[in-house]
Amino acid sequence: MKHVSPLIALAVASLLAGCAAGPDYKKPELAMPAAWQSATPFHAAQPADAAMKGNWWEVFHDGELNRLEQLALSRNQSLQVALARFEQARAQVDVTAAGLFPTLGLSAGAARQKSSADRPLSSYSTPNYSVVQNNNQVGFAVSYEADLFGRVRSTVAAASASAEQAAADLENTRLLLLTQLAADYFNLRELDSEIDVLRQGIVLQQKALDFIQSRHELGVASGLDLAQQQSVLDASRTQLELLQVQRSQFQHALATMTGTPAPEFVLAPALVAMTAPVLPAGVPSELLQRRPDVASSERAIAAANANIGVARAAYFPSMSLQANGGWNSNAMGNLLSAPSLLWSLGASFTQTLFDAGKTKAAVRIAEAGYTASVASYRQSVLVAMQEVEDGIDGMATLGRAASQAEASVRSSQRVLDLSNDRYSGGLDTYLNVITAQQTLLSNQRQAVKIRGQQMLTSVFLIKALGGGWHAAPQLASQQPSQLSSDKAPAP
């Protein structure tokens, strides 16, 4: 009966392994609106293939933007940091999952030793002698912590949820990076268009200055007219220099995001058709699957829930099983013989009786962390809905503003033509011409800025909708061996 007692202990531990101290995880319930609210009805894009996919930036049909986005995916250092942290989180799952299995160790050693003749006597009737002898040993050891109350399983669950959170954080870092790159790119292209408008205005203002100069030389125009036109031209040239500075700053930002030293990065000016794509907004509940930051917040709740189980397990006893065996002999030739065999089996129980409230405080900490995670999750959903509503309203408002801006450009062009005709005919002062020039230039630049804002708003709406990312199946449902073989999500 003595020989089977360790086996009985192992069987009891196996039966108790189904017990768990931690609460079962349930995703928090959220009351989601049925539809988006907008002054202008917002319809999903048709056909369905207009929906955003992985490379969402391709909906803008801009080859240069596509090239820059791919450069950022392969070279951006912040993205490499997020990827490395994701790999760390996945490796941590393997570390914690190892606790579910026994630990096996092997050992071997050989020594020649001499004992002292003056060592303390073990028996007063027997004198000590100095002995020189060999000590050869080969052995193995097996140890296993029986997970009676789910401490190890809760630790694995927390690590798995943290790995899923890291995966969502990686996607969120990628989304933030690529949307910021697209925003800076369209800011730069808007400045290209604005610079082009300003340069065309400078050409016209220079022609007007030449015209006034010739009239002044003939005594038809006054020196005041000449000075006023020169002032307008100088102001436009100053504005052109300031726009060039802004463009350089956006170009340098694009260089950094694509992992290129700023002095080596050049993006030639170009006039691109800034036409915002029609984006499918779907329904509010889709944000829970499409937003990586929302997915990250939800996985944080799962990790916090598992940590409660880890903390509560400290209330209960822990059990460890050990098995040791091997051979020990003073002669190498007899090492593996039957008389040299040795072994042991054992089990140990540990129960904390008093820790001055340490375990109770740890449970409160874990429960408070869970409460904070739930609140953070709900807040992330509220922010997501706010951002989408802002984007939808912004697109509708800017669409109307763009139509008004184009109309104002046409009207101010007619005013300038009439003012020039009246001044040439001697019916009006040149001040009205200058006013008309400035109004036309201002309206043209405003129209360009509104088109740029439309592009930026569409980019930020894509970000608010989660880009082209879809939540992957939960890693928690996979086995530890599967987790170690998975690869990072492709860009």
Structure-token pair, residue 273: 């058709």
Q: What is the DSSP letter of 116?
A: -
Of the CA atoms within 13 Å of residue 117, those in its CB half-sphere come to 5
CB–CB of 281/43 below 8 Å? no
Sort residue 354 into left (φ over 0), alpha (ψ -120 to 50) or beta. Answer: beta
Confidence of residue 52 (pLDDT cuts 50, 70, 90): low
Reply yes or no on whether the pLDDT at 484 is more than 60: no
Single pTM value for the model: 0.79
Sheet containing 341-350: order of strands: 103-114, 132-146, 318-329, 341-350
Instruction: Give the whole-angstrom CA distance, residue 22 versus residue 370.
Output: 12
Which pLDDT value is given to residue 17? Answer: 46
Reply yes or no on whether the pLDDT at 266 is more than 90: yes
Reply yes or no on whether the pLDDT at 473 is more than 70: no
Which pLDDT value is given to residue 263? Answer: 92
Chain centroid to CA 436: how far?
50
More confident residue, 469 or 73: 73
Burial 141-169 (b: 16+ CB within 10 A, else e): eeebbbbbbbbbbbbbbbbbbbbbbbbbb
> Coil, strand or helix: which one is 112?
strand
Rounded to an integer, the average pLDDT of 13-35 is 68
Burial 36-63 (b: 16+ CB within 10 A, else e): beeeeebeeeeeeeebbeeebbbbbebe
Which pLDDT value is given to residue 431? Answer: 77
In 3D, which of 403, 129, 411, 161 has the Cα closest to residue 296?
161
Reply yes or no on whether the pLDDT at 428 is more than 80: no
- State the angle between helix axes of 63-75 and 151-217 in degrees (0 to 180), rounded to the nearest 10: 140
Which pLDDT value is given to residue 466? Answer: 87
One-character DSSP codes across 377-412: HHHHHHHHHHHHHHHHHHHHHHHHHHHHHHHHHHHH
Instruction: Give the whole-angstrom CA distance, residue 58 versus residue 67.
Output: 10
Confidence of residue 85 (pLDDT cuts 50, 70, 90): very high
Q: CB neighbours of 472 closer than 8 A, spacing ≥ 6?
A: 167, 489
Which pLDDT value is given to residue 123? Answer: 81
**Whole-number percent of the chain with pLDDT over 90:** 39
CB–CB of 138/324 below 8 Å? no
More confident residue, 283 or 319: 319
Reply yes or no on whether the pLDDT at 476 is more than 50: no
Instruction: Give the whole-angstrom CA distance, residue 146 versus residue 96.
Output: 14
Reply yes or no on whether the pLDDT at 140 is more than 70: yes
Confidence of residue 129 (pLDDT cuts 50, 70, 90): confident
Please report, for the chain, how many H helices and E strands are present, in that order: 10, 4
Which pLDDT value is given to residue 368? Answer: 95
Which pLDDT value is given to residue 471? Answer: 55
Sort residue 466 into left (φ over 0), alpha (ψ -120 to 50) or beta. Answer: left
Which residue, chain included where needed, has tokens 């820059």? 68
Sort residue 7 into left (φ over 0), alpha (ψ -120 to 50) or beta. Answer: alpha
More confident residue, 238 or 489: 238
Average pLDDT along the chain:
83
In 3D, which of 301, 277, 306 has the Cα closest to residue 288?
301
Confidence of residue 469 (pLDDT cuts 50, 70, 90): low
User: By mean pLDDT, which of 53-67, 247-261, 327-341, 471-485 is the weakest?
Assistant: 471-485
Confidence of residue 422 (pLDDT cuts 50, 70, 90): confident
CB–CB of 165/145 below 8 Å? no
Confidence of residue 481 (pLDDT cuts 50, 70, 90): very low
Distances (CA, A) of 181 to 26, 73, 246, 339, 453: 37, 11, 16, 75, 15
Confidence of residue 490 (pLDDT cuts 50, 70, 90): very low
Q: Which helix or strand (DSSP H or E) is residue 319 part of?
A: strand 318-329
Q: What is the pLDDT of residues 332-370, one digit of tens each?
A: 878 888 888 888 999 888 888 888 999 999 999 999 999
Q: Which CATH number is associated with domain 22-101+149-316+356-485?
A: 1.20.1600.10
Reply yes or no on whether the pLDDT at 188 is more than 90: yes
Burial 216-226 (b: 16+ CB within 10 A, else e): beeeebeeebb
Reply yes or no on whether the pLDDT at 43 is more than 90: no
Rounded to an integer, the average pLDDT of 304-331 is 89
Which pLDDT value is given to residue 20? Answer: 60
User: By mean pLDDT, which of 216-220, 291-295, 451-455 is the weakest?
Assistant: 216-220
Which residue, chain included where needed, has tokens 């999750």? 377
> Coil, strand or helix: which one is 259?
coil
Domain boundaries, the chain: 22-101+149-316+356-485
Reply yes or no on whether the pLDDT at 96 is more than 80: yes
